[in-house]
Amino acid sequence: MILKNLYLFLQNVCKNRILTNIILENEKEFNIFFIQELPWFFIQTIPSSISEERDKVMSVPNYPDWLTFFKQLSNDNKHSRVLMYINV
């Protein structure tokens, strides 16, 4: 696919999941969407391979029209503060 114009959208969503959902659902004319302070949320717990306690699974909003890219940090208590969605 060759793009003649590349449309970017940059937004600090202040960890607001509703705002992130609104943007991803309505701003389909953009090719790339960068967000800061993304809304991480708890999904479920899963069995841990290294301890007796269960691990928490955390994620950000995902949509079928967008690919999600972020850096996975090594510290489990910290999450990326910047994320990129690419419109497919």
10-residue mean pLDDT profile of the chain (88 residues): values are 84 91 89 90 85 82 88 69 89
What integer pLDDT is reported at residue 76 of this predicted model? 61
pLDDT of residue 33: 93
pLDDT number for residue 80: 78
Predicted TM-score (pTM) of the model is 0.74
pLDDT of residue 74: 64
Cα angle 59-62-68, degrees, rounded to a multiple of 5: 85
Residue 33 near residue 65, CB atoms below 8 Å: no
Half-sphere exposure for 86 (CA within 13 Å, toward CB)? 6
